[in-house]
Amino acid sequence: MESNTILVVQSAEDQRTHTCKSLEDKGYETIGVGSVSEALAYLTLSRGNVRLVLTEYQLPDYSGYELKVRLQELGEIKRMPVVFLDKLLNPFLNR
């Protein structure tokens, strides 16, 4: 059976929790981590249990792009789909 687990990589714990909860409400299983290092450690140990990585672009240790590059260097998970999140400022909040 194919996994439907999404690895959520967001540095802010409250945002990560919200993202995971939203995905779980839609029927996905989630794992939340706060850095590229944590994501790589989990993916290395999970051995194919993750179907998609949802990551911020700006993270404390590396960028989301660096995560994608590192995934491409790893054997089994080199074709892992990666979706980048970005925080957009709401122009109406600055008025």
Q: Is residue 10 one of the residues assigned to a domain?
A: no
Q: Is residue 30 one of the residues assigned to a domain?
A: no
User: For 63, what's the count of Cα atoms within 13 Å in the CB-facing half-sphere?
Assistant: 6
pLDDT at 45: 86
Quick check: 91 pLDDT over 60? no
Q: Is residue 55 one of the residues assigned to a domain?
A: yes
Q: Which domain holds residue 48?
A: 41-86
- Whether pTM > 0.95 for this model: the answer is no
Which residues make Cβ contacts (< 8 Å) with residue 45, sequence separation at least 6? none
Separation CA 11–CA 78 (nearest Å): 23
Q: Is residue 24 one of the residues assigned to a domain?
A: no
Q: Is residue 21 one of the residues assigned to a domain?
A: no
CA dihedral 21, 27, 32, 38 (to 10 degrees): -170
pLDDT at 2: 58
pLDDT at 20: 96
Reported as a single tens digit per residue, the pLDDT across 19-70 is: 999 999 999 999 999 999 999 999 888 877 899 999 998 888 998 899 988 8
Strands (E), 3-79: 5-9, 29-33, 50-56
- Give 95 or 4, the one with higher predicted confidence: 4
As for how many domains the chain has, the answer is: 1
pLDDT at 93: 44
Q: Is residue 70 one of the residues assigned to a domain?
A: yes
Q: Is residue 58 one of the residues assigned to a domain?
A: yes
User: For 70, what's the count of Cα atoms within 13 Å in the CB-facing half-sphere?
Assistant: 15
- Give 1 or 87, the one with higher predicted confidence: 87
pLDDT at 79: 76
Q: Is residue 23 one of the residues assigned to a domain?
A: no
